[in-house]
Amino acid sequence: MSKPKVAFFDFACCEGCQLQVANIGEPLLDVLDIVQVVEFREVMSEKWNGDFDVAFVEGSITDEHAVERIKKIRERSKILVALGSCATIGGVNGMKNSFDLEEVGKYVYGESYKFFPTLHTKAVHQVVPVDYFINGCPIYQPEFLTVLKCILQGIPYYVPEYPVCVECKLNENVCMYDRGVTCMGPVTKAGCNSWCINNGNICYGCRGLTINPNTEGFKEVLKNYKIPEDFLIRKIEMYNKCKEFDKS
């Protein structure tokens, strides 16, 4: 049996999630034993004209050119994986959607803004069907390897439905609310092992909102700790602004 052909592509993003893959270190050699990476522009010059068994896509879709490109990649791929927040939920690129697009263009590029046509930021699944999601900004390497194993065995991967708080409690962190600051942990999908809170920071919600976030309970928490609601809205928007396209 020939090795599955794997490719990496990127759209509007920082390329940090692909770097997380390259950063796996020596275990990368074991991965390369069982798959054939045929295209990975960030670290390889090799190109491939055929179909892909698995395509990993990093980044959000933010212009017409990207819409066409992702459609073509989808046609050539048996399995398409959204890699990282920009691809799975739009990520920080979504903050642009709170502004008028023409105004945003003019602010950054002045009168030359017309050379840089831009669309409202979308996550990959809001443009083409996606088979697997690997959340996080950046992705959490152990989860990447787990998902890769699922893909190669042909079984689904289920993103945890419980919030980051569950993992955070197991890690015995002091609750950030008790330290007086707003944390997105109560409404954010787990799976990162509460990476940021373990390091003394808050959860920024980069893995996306849980399917049924307990928003009312969350508002209650905010009230208890006297935290203004608009702080929360802005914190949700940092990564999750594109969610509004899921409703339509």
Partner 1 sequence: MNGNLTINVNYLTRVEGHGNIVVEVNDGKLQICRLEIVESPRFFEAFLRGRSIYEAPHITSRICGICACGHTLASIQAAEDALGIKPTEQTTLLRKLLLHYEELDSHILHIYLLVAPDLLGVPSFVPLIKSNPELVRRSLKMKRLCNELCDILVGRHVHPISAVVGGFTKLPSYNDLEEMHKRLTELRADIETTVELFRKITFPIFERDTEYVALVNDEDEYPLLYGDIGSTDGYRVSKYEYKSVTNEFIVPYATAKRTKWHRESYAVGALARFNLNHEKLHPKAKEAALALNLKPKCINPYLNTVAQIVECVHCVEDALRIIETLWQKGINYDEVVIPDINERGILPQRSGEGIGAVEVPRGLLIHHYECDERGIFKNANCIIPTNQNTHNIELDMLKLVPEIINQSQEEITLALEMLVRAYDPCISCSVHMVKVNFK
Q: Which residues bind partner 1 (CB under 8 A)?
A: 11-20, 22-23, 25-26, 28-29, 32, 37, 40-46, 62-63, 65-66, 91-93, 95-96, 98-99, 103-105, 107-110, 112, 115-116, 118, 137-138, 176, 179-182, 195-196, 198-202, 204, 227-228, 231, 234, 238
Distance from C-alpha of 93 to C-alpha of 136, rounded to nearest angstrom: 14
Nearer to partner 1, 23 or 156 (CB): 23
Distance from C-alpha of 98 to C-alpha of 158, rounded to nearest angstrom: 31
Distance from C-alpha of 189 to C-alpha of 165, rounded to nearest angstrom: 9
Q: How far is the CB of 121 from partner 1 (least distance, A)?
A: 9
Q: How far is the CB of 21 from partner 1 (least distance, A)?
A: 10
Nearer to partner 1, 62 or 77 (CB): 62
Q: How far is the CB of 155 from partner 1 (least distance, A)?
A: 28
Nearer to partner 1, 217 or 228 (CB): 228
Distance from C-alpha of 204 to C-alpha of 22, rounded to nearest angstrom: 24
Q: How far is the CB of 231 from partner 1 (least distance, A)?
A: 6
Nearer to partner 1, 70 or 130 (CB): 70
Using the CB atoms, write b or e for 23-58: b if 16+ within 10 Å: eeeeeeeebeeebebbbbeeeeeeeeeeebbbbbbb
Nearer to partner 1, 36 or 146 (CB): 36
What values do phi and psi take at 234, rounded to 5? -65, -35
For residue 16, give the nearest of 137, 192, 121, 191 by alpha carbon. 137
Q: Which amino acid is at 88?
A: T
73 close to 41: Cβ distance less than 8 angstroms: no
Nearer to partner 1, 107 or 162 (CB): 107
Q: How far is the CB of 154 from partner 1 (least distance, A)?
A: 25
Q: How far is the CB of 36 from partner 1 (least distance, A)?
A: 9
